[in-house]
Amino acid sequence: MSDELKKPIYKRWWFWLLVFIVAVGIAGGRGGDGDGNKAGLDENTEQARDAVDAGNKQPSKEDKSASVKETTGTGTTDAGKEKNTETVSQKNAVRKAEQYLRTMPFSKEGLIEQLEYEGFSNADATYAVNKLNVNWNDQAVKKGKQYLNTMPFSKSGLIEQLEFDGFTNAEAAYGVNQLNVNWKEQAVKKAKQYLDIMSFSRSGLIHQLEFDGFTTEEATYAADQVGF
């Protein structure tokens, strides 16, 4: 048997060659695993950092708007709607004012005074009258007609009477100007009314009619018509 065959296996050259190859292979495998583990750690670290950044990031206006819409369904609430704060007293004042205007004409000031006379406060009465959709010029026309159906007036006398009832000068003048009135005939009616209760001279009657607002022409015409 040769000397080569008599040597122990650990003394043979090819044994150490195999050991060397295996050792190199193991070392290379460990190095690969180390790089893989490092890559895995780096990836996990990056994901963790992204999660932290996402948690710290402030939502944009668009994100807030979308969040509100998701919460409310439409993105709007009833908070902006005006609440009805009308009190019971104010409601009653409105109803009372409407009742009065259905029965007779009023000026704005006159209706407020009437409501106050009924016991409403000035605040409630004013609230009610302001809430109504009223054309005060038309009310002046109606009031002027109402007066002429009860007694004769001169043009200026009727305007003064409407102002006394609370209409402004503009409203009173508008109301009277809308009426189709023969003021000379009104002077005749007024002259007859005076003569039914007392005696007058011609000049005295004319003077009284002028005092009531009739022009000299209208007063003189009336005196002529009653026999002076």
Q: DSSP characters for 22-49?
A: HHHHHHHHHHHHHHHHHHHHHHHHHHHH
Using an 8 Å Cβ cutoff, are 188 and 220 in contact?
A: no
Mean pLDDT by 10 residues, the chain (228 residues): 54 62 62 50 52 52 50 46 79 97 97 97 97 97 97 98 98 97 98 96 97 98 96
**pLDDT computed for residue 50 by the predictor:** 56
Q: What are phi and psi of 168, to 5 degrees?
A: -70, 165
**pLDDT computed for residue 80 by the predictor:** 47
**pLDDT computed for residue 136 by the predictor:** 98
Can you tell me the distance from the alpha carbon of 150 to that of 143, in angstroms, rounded to the nearest whole number?
A: 11
**pLDDT computed for residue 107 by the predictor:** 98
**From the candidate CATH numbers 1.20.58, 1.10.3470, 2.60.40, 1.10.10, the one assigned to the domain spanning 87-134:** 1.10.10
Can you tell me the distance from the alpha carbon of 188 to that of 191, in angstroms, rounded to the nearest whole number?
A: 5
Q: Answer yes or no: pTM beyond 0.75.
A: no
Using an 8 Å Cβ cutoff, are 143 and 103 in contact?
A: no
Can you tell me the distance from the alpha carbon of 215 to that of 120, in angstroms, rounded to the nearest whole number?
A: 43
**pLDDT computed for residue 9 by the predictor:** 59
Domain boundaries, the chain: 87-134
